[in-house]
Amino acid sequence: MSFLENSIAYLKGVGPQKAALLKNELDISTYQDLLHCFPFRHVDKSMFYTIEKIQSDTEYVQIKGKIVRYQEQGAGHQKRLVALFQDDKNTLELLWFKGVQWVVKNLPLQQEIVVYGKVSFFMGKPQIAHPEIEPWVAFQANRFLFKPIYAGTEKLKMRGITSKVIAKMVEHLFDIMPPDTIVENIPSSILESQKMMSRQEAFLQIHFPRNLQSLESAKHRLKFEEFFIAQLRLANIRSGRYKHTKGILFERLGSFFNTFYDTCLPFALTGAQKRVLKEIRKDTISGAQMNRLLQGDVGSGKTVVALMVALMALDNNCQACIMAPTEILATQHYQNIIQLTQKLNLKIALLTSSVKGKARKILLEQLANNEIHLLIGTHSLVEKNVVFACLGLAVIDEQHKFGVAQRSALWQKNIVPPHILVMTATPIPRTLAMTAYGDLECSVIDELPPGRQAIKTVHRYDRERPLLIDFMKKEIASGRQIYVVFPLIEESEKMDYENLFHGIEIYQTYFREPHYYLSVVHGQQTPALKETNMQRFIQGHTQIMLSTTVIEVGVNVPNASMMIIESAEKFGLSQLHQLRGRVGRGSEKSYCVLLSGQKLSHEAKQRLATMCNTNDGFIIAEKDLEIRGPGEIDGTKQSGLLNFKLASITQDKGLLDLAKNKTEEIIHSDPELRNQEHAALKNYLLIDTLKNTSWKKIS
Ligand code: ADP
Ligand code: MG
């Protein structure tokens, strides 16, 4: 057992009772934990105030001087000791309401002392109650002039474990720590080129800094370490999978792929689509299992890429599946893909929870007998009794809607795990992709199909609705269709539905049959009714579709040129962008109107302004991360990868880049970490990884 693994109970002055308290309140159970309990701020004891400089808003001060007079005032409860304290020029009063005897005895008049405390004012004159006092002689012997302040709890304080006591514990820990206990884990070449302090020094300085600058250097070094170790772990998972997880070989590009490419594809692929297909192709002939994240903005054409990868699988006698988060989206993929592949004589099936009884039984049999080439569906696909004959590829569309468990369940669907292609609904900020999704290879479609016009986005208040209605009528008169989306926070909440139905009524009064026909789609309808209403809109029988966010993902009606988002302030940025992506798919000029109430929070204003200013999903993703912080972004909460203690992927982007670069250099030059220079690092990762095995196998 190493020194740092010792129980905190063994540290001088702690013992079993305080140890239990520290465990409960601050999760500190070993020396190591105490070392990692970083102060949240420091008090600068190197700076001295003078009484003259104290102003009405002054808070804590440290002053050197002497007590020139004691006086006891009041009686009974009111009794207090007042000391007149004098620096070079001026005086102020120090007050004690208890411990009076002790003070008078231990702090003789005229002795040079240092006083620290919070200033208050009485009749306009500054005073300090119960100051901390240290004789000047003792003060000069202080080792640390930046006093660490540790976060505590009420319980700890009640039992006498104050910030000061924790500081004493840490100080003592450093005193008894054998040399070389804190082992360096960053290669010396990096430390030298980046002028970073050693690990040992950084831990000392973050608790007890010499000065502000060394505190900053310590934080810098430790933040870098967090990113660096995380990046290495991720790289290690990627390369480990490469070595250990054998993949199916898609050796041939055969008649499915080629016929589709030559005769079915209704448009030319964009350069980005071609590049991504090449990247995927390379993975699938490498002999290892592919785990790739496909990022692309809304409407960038991810579906056709997924289909073409599926055709690669079929050409190699494998089956493929595509999993989508909603029934509507799965159905739409199904219809879309059937249409695109008419000439190919493919057997494609749709599996959702609505496929029941005999139909389901037949489908599952056919699937197991290799009579189905491509299965499209919802999370029904991961159910145990869905058995493939030979699953070569699993595509997961709109990945953030699925949990980690559902994704990893797809791994189990074949003896040799299928290649996995994960597609995102909206771009993921670069820094997040590097951390939360860093164990996946990443492809980006950074180009929209030609001819798309930028969507004009405006923000309007509810009271401007009549003007909006006029504009809608004009659009409909020229043959266009319109979406109106209402927020539903929880699909079950009664209040929200009342709002929704009220909103629908308003539109129904403006747009009456037989002049206008409306589709209404929401989560309380049966799948069949939803489908009918959707189809009426898709076929052009209705001009307006009023819905909840069920249309958020993937719905494709190129003739729709207008998206109206009700109570837009209630939506998050990526959701707004996703919704807006439903229009601007045809050749007509498209509009997005964000309706809101009069009162808007600062954040809501920022979101709406961002939407009006840009159509670029990558910029919006960055902004979203900036506004909300990493913890709140979809799909990252459960990953556990963002639990950096000091570093922040929004505020320390530069350091994250540096860590990523340095990691790549190392992995490139010494992938197995065999060099002597990397020995300590390897050792550290081994020990560290043993403690972090839970997420190793997740894609
Ligand atoms: P997303 O990436 O949001 O899933 P889709 O795959 O639904 O986007 O594609 C959006 C629309 O763009 C579809 O109508 C699709 O047919 C069309 N599309 C895809 N690729 C191209 C291309 N290279 N040229 C023209 N249109 C394309
Ligand atoms: Mg899509």
Per residue in 246-291, pLDDT (tens digit) is 889 999 899 999 999 999 999 999 999 999 999 999 999 998 889 8
- 435 pLDDT more than 70: yes
Matching residue, tokens 């692929």: 269
What is the C-alpha separation between 387 and 406, in angstroms, rounded? 15
Bridge partners of 95?
A: 82, 129
Ligand nearest to the CA of 445: 1
- Decide: 487 and 549 in contact? Cβ < 8 Å: yes
What is the C-alpha separation between 225 and 219, in angstroms, rounded? 10
In one letter, which amino acid is 345?
Answer: N
- The residues near 649 (Cβ < 8 Å, ≥ 6 apart) are 431, 432, 434, 435, 625, 630, 642, 656
- The residues near 95 (Cβ < 8 Å, ≥ 6 apart) are 80, 81, 82, 83, 127, 128, 129, 130
Ligand 1, pocket-test mutation among 270, 303, 323, 339, most atoms within 8 A of CB: 303
What is the C-alpha separation between 55 and 428, in angstroms, rounded? 49
What pLDDT, on the 0 to 100 scale, is given for residue 522?
86
What pLDDT, on the 0 to 100 scale, is given for residue 157?
87
Distance 460 CA to ligand 1 centre (A): 30
Atom 26, ligand 1: residue with shortest CA distance: 449
Distance 384 CA to ligand 2 centre (A): 26
What is the C-alpha separation between 574 and 428, in angstroms, rounded? 10
What token pair was written down for 342?
A: 């008419």
Mean pLDDT of 539-543: 95
Atom 18, ligand 1: residue with shortest CA distance: 301
Indicate whether residue 429 lines ligand 1 (CB < 6 A).
no
Mean pLDDT of 77-93: 91
Indicate whether residue 10 lines ligand 1 (CB < 6 A).
no
- 52 pLDDT more than 70: yes
Q: Which residues surround ligand 2, an ion (CB under 5 A)?
A: 554
What pLDDT, on the 0 to 100 scale, is given for residue 692?
44
Q: What angle do CA 157, 159, 164 make, to 5 degrees?
A: 50
What pLDDT, on the 0 to 100 scale, is given for residue 241?
63
Mean pLDDT of 161-181: 93
Mapping DSSP onto H, E and C, the string for 512-529 reads: CCCCCCEEEECCCCCHHH
- The residues near 278 (Cβ < 8 Å, ≥ 6 apart) are none
Atom 5, ligand 1: residue with shortest CA distance: 301
- 596 pLDDT more than 60: yes
What's the chain's length in residues? 699
* pLDDT level of residue 525 (50, 70, 90 thresholds): confident
Q: What is the pLDDT of residues 323-363, one digit of tens each?
A: 998 888 898 899 999 999 999 999 999 999 999 999 999 99
Atom 23, ligand 1: residue with shortest CA distance: 269
Indicate whether residue 523 lines ligand 1 (CB < 6 A).
no
Distance 624 CA to ligand 1 centre (A): 25
Indicate whether residue 298 lines ligand 1 (CB < 6 A).
yes
Indicate whether residue 678 lines ligand 1 (CB < 6 A).
no
Does residue 258 come out as left (phi exceeding 0), alpha (psi in the -120 to 50 range) or beta?
alpha
CA distances to 193, 200, 456, 644, 662 from 186, rounded to whole Å, are 12, 12, 50, 17, 10
- 437 pLDDT more than 90: no
Mean pLDDT of 600-615: 95
Secondary structure of residue 209 in the 3-state scheme: coil
Distance 561 CA to ligand 1 centre (A): 16
Nearest ligand 1 atom to the CA of 425 is 3
Indicate whether residue 292 lines ligand 1 (CB < 6 A).
no
- Decide: 289 and 324 in contact? Cβ < 8 Å: no
* pLDDT level of residue 203 (50, 70, 90 thresholds): very high
Mean pLDDT of 55-73: 92
* pLDDT level of residue 597 (50, 70, 90 thresholds): very high
Top-confidence residue, 642 or 51: 51
- 615 pLDDT more than 50: yes
Mean pLDDT is lowest, of 13-17, 234-238, 563-567, 666-670, for 234-238
Indicate whether residue 333 lines ligand 1 (CB < 6 A).
no
- The residues near 191 (Cβ < 8 Å, ≥ 6 apart) are 184, 197, 198
Distance 697 CA to ligand 2 centre (A): 26
Top-confidence residue, 527 or 658: 658
- 427 pLDDT more than 60: yes
Query: Which percentage of the chain shows pLDDT scores above 70?
Result: 92
- The residues near 316 (Cβ < 8 Å, ≥ 6 apart) are 248, 249, 250, 251, 252, 254, 392
* DSSP string for residues in 450-466: TTPPPPEEEEEEGGGHH
What is the C-alpha separation between 526 and 77, in angstroms, rounded? 74
What token pair was written down for 568?
A: 């837009």
What token pair was written down for 188?
A: 């010396």
Mean pLDDT of 116-127: 91
CA distances to 204, 263, 278, 361 from 259, rounded to whole Å, are 66, 6, 18, 32
- 651 pLDDT more than 80: yes
Mean pLDDT is lowest, of 529-533, 628-632, 662-666, 677-681, for 628-632
Mean pLDDT of 536-542: 93
Scored b (16 or more CB within 10 A) or e, 93-126 reads ebbbeeeeeebbeebeeeeebbbbbebeeeeeeb
Ligand 1, pocket-test mutation among 267, 293, 398, most atoms within 8 A of CB: 267
Full-model pTM:
0.71
- 699 pLDDT more than 50: no
Q: Look over the chain and give the mean of its residue pLDDT values, rounded to a whole number.
A: 88
Indicate whether residue 304 lines ligand 1 (CB < 6 A).
yes
Bridge partners of 419?
A: 393
Indicate whether residue 582 lines ligand 1 (CB < 6 A).
no
* DSSP string for residues in 572-605: -HHHHHHHHTTSS-SSS--EEEEEE-S---HHHH
* pLDDT level of residue 132 (50, 70, 90 thresholds): confident
Q: What is the pLDDT of residues 483-511, one digit of tens each?
A: 999 987 665 566 667 778 888 999 999 99
Mean pLDDT is lowest, of 354-368, 594-608, 671-685, for 671-685
- 682 pLDDT more than 50: yes
Mean pLDDT is lowest, of 62-76, 336-350, 575-589, for 575-589
Q: What is the pLDDT of residues 6-15, one digit of tens each?
A: 999 999 989 9
- 474 pLDDT more than 70: yes
Top-confidence residue, 616 or 527: 616
Mean pLDDT of 446-459: 90
What pLDDT, on the 0 to 100 scale, is given for residue 695?
35
What is the C-alpha separation between 55 and 58, in angstroms, rounded? 5
Indicate whether residue 302 lines ligand 1 (CB < 6 A).
yes
Query: Which percentage of the chain shows pLDDT scores above 90?
Result: 58
Indicate whether residue 296 lines ligand 1 (CB < 6 A).
yes
What pLDDT, on the 0 to 100 scale, is given for residue 636?
47
Atom 17, ligand 1: residue with shortest CA distance: 301
Atom 1, ligand 1: residue with shortest CA distance: 299
- 642 pLDDT more than 70: no
